[in-house]
Structure 1
Amino acid sequence: MAREAVSTTSGPVTGLTQNGVRVFKGVPYATARRFAKPVAPDPWTEPLSCTEHGAYAPQPGHLDHAAEAACLSLNIWAPATDRPLPVLFFVHGGAFVTGGGADYDGAFLAAHGPAVIVTINYRLGPLGFLQLHRHGLAEASNLALQDTLAALDWVRANIAKFGGDPDAITLSGQSAGASMVIALATLPQARGKFIRALALSAPGRNIMSAEHADDVARRVIDELELSRDPGKIASVPLQELFAAVDRVGRRIADETEQGTLFGPVLDGTVIPREPRDVFADGTLRDIPLWLGSCRDEMVMFLKSTPPAAMIRTTERQLRAAFGDVGWERLLSCYRATARPDEDPYEALLSDAFWHRPMADLARLHAGAGGAVWLSRFDHRPSLEPFLSQGPTHGADNACLWAHLPDFIDRPILRRKGGPMTLGDVEVATRFQSDVLRFVTRGRPDAAEAWPPCTPGSEPVALFDQPFRVVSLKDSARSLLWTELLAQSGAPQAHPIAKSAAVSA
């Protein structure tokens, strides 16, 4: 494995070349004091070895030796090339509290694009999402999103040195990372810095209200007994801070409409506008958008112990929007139309929290003149937890990052990879090819058998055996949703997607 040095705006870095792909891991893009904005790292002159992943962002299970200021790093996989390559900029998921770029090895995607693949770390949990700007720490607002924007700026400034095209960046993310991408894409500070966006399994509530974020911050401060001097939270030991957040989280799950602690926040400064409104008014009509989800998203959360708070929250919000009679009508419809292997309750919640809000966002973007594609991942990967739970949350992500014919290890998630079946390889090949085609050419389907959505048509690509494109708009379930939304007085706004905006 040959070493290669590349100069950056902070200093030279060295990586390794493996099978024709240059790999740079743990490249610092910023540094930050606790609850402060990210700033450029101190420059260096001697080559910095970037052959190992950088420090994980502090998170449950990784607190004992956490290096807070050193966690803001990124990883680059760059094929050797004589022409600038498009860039896939990936933001990891993990419910805003776990994860990191180390779980995503981009070597296979880079070689097969060809494309430059970038994965990033950003601050998690209270360090990235606790809104303290109204509690004595003026900079502490949407810090994780500010980290992500700093990483994007670093990529724009430096990626040409690695063979990437700074004018051909695709923002992408999965789960919490997809929410980050949707918010990031709408920021004035990000305008002109990317040309496409891909969001996989973005939660229905892509943004939280400032009131909810302030309530969470107040509860954490009170839990730490710092109400008289909130600024001292900046020096609380990590173990104490995360333990207090955990206690608040368990209580808040049943006490608030949101049910969860963290996410991007409509603070009026970093995020000045509700992202859905930005898509709706046509500001992003020139940005091609791919929105995807997994068929059985909610199974993983129903089977968690105890079941995730979003289960109770979603049912509660649907009952509030449609009344108990409307809820029972929905559940009866799902029971009557269920597949033999389908849990009607899970399918209803998956539609409510994941699929329909994404379709709603697609509708807004298409209505404003934007190109947008919808997909659903229906294939069950032969890897746990999907082998026992079906195509639940993350099934598409496991196939996207696979090194065919094997699934990769995920060290932070503590999930082992393994060999793929022929069916896995077939579906993953199609999925990877379409993602790379979207990154390199701006549309996912070479044969144009999968058309973009239009105001009158919402085709959905199903990644399964076989791959097929269907319309779900006129199904019995969809027609009932349309009727109930009309009766509720808000036919254009899905109740889960609009909940944060209404409470803001």
Structure 2
Amino acid sequence: MLTNAVPTTSGPVVGAEQEAVRAFKGVPFATARRFAKATRPPAWTEPRRCTDYGAYAPQPGHLDQAEESCLSLNIWAPAGVDRPLPVLVFIHGGAFVTGGGADYDGGFLAKHGPAVIVTINYRLGPLGFLQLHRHGLGEANNLALQDALAALDWVHANIANFGGDPNAITLSGQSAGASMVIALATLPQARGKFIRALALSAPGRNIMSADHADEIARRVLDELALAGDPAEIASVPLPELFAAVERVGRRLADETESGTVFGPVLDGIVIAREPRDVFADGTLRDIPLWLGSCRDEMVMFLKSTPPAAMIRTTERQVRMALGDAGWGRLLSYYRATARPDEDPYEALLSDAFWHRPLADLARLHAAAGGAVWLSRFDHRPALEPFLSQGPTHGADNACLWAHLPDFIDRPILKRKGGPMTPADIDVAARFQASLLRFVTSGVPDVAEAWPRFEPPHEALAVFGQPFHVVPLNEGVRSSLWAELSAGDNDKKKIREAG
């Protein structure tokens, strides 16, 4: 059944209603030419039918999509609610090169909140992250981040017409989307547009240096033989552009300290300050923050063919920071303390790249007076790739978006859903309830069940069977990290003093 027309700042939209939830899909929030900042979409006057997802952002496997029309969002809102509802805005992951809002059906969460759920598209790969402003294309910097900011602005201006409360928006994301959330949260342009933030599996390095981003742009231009005329990159066919970026990425993984190709960039223009410094100085102390990760984050990347570049670069970075002897001590301790089903090498890398940086960010926010909660997802969903790989990257996300008692399909990534086991349902229901409580109140659980993360105990909530809370810094591994990191800090002070 079609809904009544809902007014927006661009024109009226019509969605579809099913099982007491109204869904509006493919709603344009902006339009953009290649390597140009997003602008408002052309206005319309007749009700626009928004019952199907919009075009995917161009990405490997979907390079036939329309670049200019990929900036759309999707809204799920309960029908018949007579009060403004809290709003969740979700930024998808996908290593900054894949994915889209169409992979996340928010109908179940909207109905059970009740809440208004929004998922967005943003430009991916070179179209959203290639930094070209030092090469004469003045607007081509942090475009994907500016896309997300434009979506947030649109939601803040329009969501009341869909039953949402513009003063109760939670900004959330997973993986690459979590990096976007952490960066967006620190931007002056986003202040007042959201009141809470949730970041699931944010990579350890949430920000890229301007010099590294410039090096990537230079290499891509060289690969396309456009160093002398960089403006021509705006007309390169998408398959050729993405193929050149892939070749550059493979070489970067072998030749540089960081194999990262894309991500938010400390460009001094859109992102003027290192996000962690903004959290540390207390600017965001009034924003409740939930940071989560999965127990075996790195398994998926170790089992990829070939293994993901972050495997090599993470080991390289730990060895550079702690020395070969420090790396050897860590790996020996991980082997000595490994669970029967645990790969100690993977566990070390997961801690180095995912868990420890998130805990460090939690400490910064807590020390500045902010409310922060830290979680780890230990449950193995009965769905591939998790059934064979365990609670690896994305396991929490699969449960978060499930329509109990089923996992949902993810059409962009071509992953099928399926029935959930009783254990899946139990853990997913607890995880979803915590999310909806956080979206509604800013607190994911009662303090007795899940305390805030703060010294000296630093509570870590573990989503498994059963749900439980443990002190983060217990065990030999944490003690050894602390010892080796203290030694590394002493060396840095000596170098700086000298």
TM-score by length of 1: 0.97
Residue 39 (structure 1) shift: 0.3
Between 244-253 and 110-119, report the one with greater CA deviation.
244-253
Please list the CA deviations of residues 224-262 of structure 1 after superposition, one character each: whole Å capped at 9, or x if unmatched: 001111011011111111111111111111111111200
1:496 alignment counterpart: none
User: Is 1:409 the counterpart of 2:409 in the alignment?
Assistant: yes
- Helix, strand or coil for the counterpart of 1:5? coil
1:215 alignment counterpart: 215
2:284 alignment counterpart: 284
Q: Distance in 2 between matches of 1:328 and 1:157?
A: 54
Q: Distance in 2 between matches of 1:255 and 1:138?
A: 28
Between 448-457 and 433-442, report the one with greater CA deviation.
448-457
1:268 alignment counterpart: 268
2:316 alignment counterpart: 316
1:70 alignment counterpart: 69
1:246 alignment counterpart: 246
The answer (yes or no) to whether the contact 1:482–1:491 under 8 Å persists in 2 is no
1:138 alignment counterpart: 138
1:469 alignment counterpart: 469
Q: Distance in 1 between matches of 2:114 and 2:31?
A: 31
Residue 492 (structure 1) shift: 12
Alignment of 1:296-335 (within 5 A): 296-335=296-335
The answer (yes or no) to whether the contact 1:4–1:17 under 8 Å persists in 2 is no
1:33 alignment counterpart: 33
2:180 alignment counterpart: 180
The answer (yes or no) to whether the contact 2:362–2:374 under 8 Å persists in 1 is yes
Distance 1:487 1:447, change over 3 A: closer
Alignment of 1:74-113 (within 5 A): 74-80=73-79, 81-113=81-113
AA matched with 2:65: A
User: Is 1:429 the counterpart of 2:429 in the alignment?
Assistant: yes
Deviating beyond 6 angstroms after TM superposition, the runs of 4 or more aligned structure 1 residues are 490-493
1:158 alignment counterpart: 158
Please list the CA deviations of residues 53-92 of structure 1 after superposition, one character each: whole Å capped at 9, or x if unmatched: 00000000001x2100000000000112110000000000
Q: Distance in 2 between matches of 1:447 and 1:18?
A: 36
AA matched with 2:28: P
AA matched with 1:237: P
Q: Distance in 1 between matches of 2:95 and 2:249?
A: 13
Q: Distance in 1 between matches of 2:320 and 2:268?
A: 28
Please list the CA deviations of residues 368-419 of structure 1 after superposition, one character each: whole Å capped at 9, or x if unmatched: 0000000000000000000000000000000000000000000011100000
Residue 454 (structure 1) shift: 1.2
The answer (yes or no) to whether the contact 2:90–2:119 under 8 Å persists in 1 is yes
Q: Distance in 1 between matches of 2:172 and 2:3?
A: 29
Residue 457 (structure 1) shift: 2.5
Q: Distance in 2 between matches of 1:247 and 1:336?
A: 39
2:338 alignment counterpart: 338
AA matched with 2:160: A
Residue 455 (structure 1) shift: 3.2
User: Is 1:352 the counterpart of 2:352 in the alignment?
Assistant: yes
AA matched with 1:439: V
- Helix, strand or coil for the counterpart of 1:86? strand
Q: Distance in 1 between matches of 2:73 and 2:227?
A: 36
Q: Distance in 2 between matches of 1:274 and 1:175?
A: 19
User: Is 1:20 the counterpart of 2:20 in the alignment?
Assistant: yes
Q: Distance in 2 between matches of 1:219 and 1:2?
A: 50
The answer (yes or no) to whether the contact 1:131–1:142 under 8 Å persists in 2 is yes
The answer (yes or no) to whether the contact 1:276–1:361 under 8 Å persists in 2 is yes
Alignment of 1:325-404 (within 5 A): 325-404=325-404
Residue 491 (structure 1) shift: 10
1:120 alignment counterpart: 120
AA matched with 1:385: P
The answer (yes or no) to whether the contact 1:405–1:420 under 8 Å persists in 2 is yes
The answer (yes or no) to whether the contact 2:55–2:70 under 8 Å persists in 1 is yes
Q: Distance in 1 between matches of 2:161 and 2:471?
A: 44
Distance 1:447 1:422, change over 3 A: farther
Please list the CA deviations of residues 139-191 of structure 1 after superposition, one character each: whole Å capped at 9, or x if unmatched: 00000000000000000000000000000000000000000000000001001
The answer (yes or no) to whether the contact 2:457–2:472 under 8 Å persists in 1 is no
The answer (yes or no) to whether the contact 1:72–1:123 under 8 Å persists in 2 is yes
User: Is 1:228 the counterpart of 2:228 in the alignment?
Assistant: yes
Q: Distance in 1 between matches of 2:280 and 2:455?
A: 12
User: Is 1:456 the counterpart of 2:456 in the alignment?
Assistant: yes
AA matched with 1:275: P
- Helix, strand or coil for the counterpart of 1:76? strand
Q: Distance in 2 between matches of 1:132 and 1:361?
A: 30
1:498 alignment counterpart: none
- Helix, strand or coil for the counterpart of 1:489? helix
The answer (yes or no) to whether the contact 2:259–2:310 under 8 Å persists in 1 is yes
- Helix, strand or coil for the counterpart of 1:428? helix
Distance 1:255 1:446, change over 3 A: same
Specify every segment of 5 or more residues in structure 1 that has no aligned partner in the other structure, as ranges. Answer: 494-501
AA matched with 2:425: V
Distance 1:437 1:332, change over 3 A: same
The answer (yes or no) to whether the contact 1:95–1:175 under 8 Å persists in 2 is yes
Q: Distance in 2 between matches of 1:254 and 1:196?
A: 39
Q: Distance in 2 between matches of 1:101 and 1:329?
A: 43
Report the count of equivalent residues: 493
Percent identity (aligned): 80
Please list the CA deviations of residues 258-292 of structure 1 after superposition, one character each: whole Å capped at 9, or x if unmatched: 11200000000100100000000000000000000
AA matched with 2:159: I
Q: Distance in 2 between matches of 1:366 and 1:200?
A: 18
AA matched with 2:351: D
Q: Distance in 1 between matches of 2:449 and 2:223?
A: 55
Please list the CA deviations of residues 10-43 of structure 1 after superposition, one character each: whole Å capped at 9, or x if unmatched: 0011001111111000000000000000000010
Between 442-451 and 266-275, report the one with greater CA deviation.
442-451
- Helix, strand or coil for the counterpart of 1:3? coil
AA matched with 2:73: L
The answer (yes or no) to whether the contact 1:485–1:491 under 8 Å persists in 2 is no
1:198 alignment counterpart: 198
- Helix, strand or coil for the counterpart of 1:242? helix
Residue 490 (structure 1) shift: 6.2
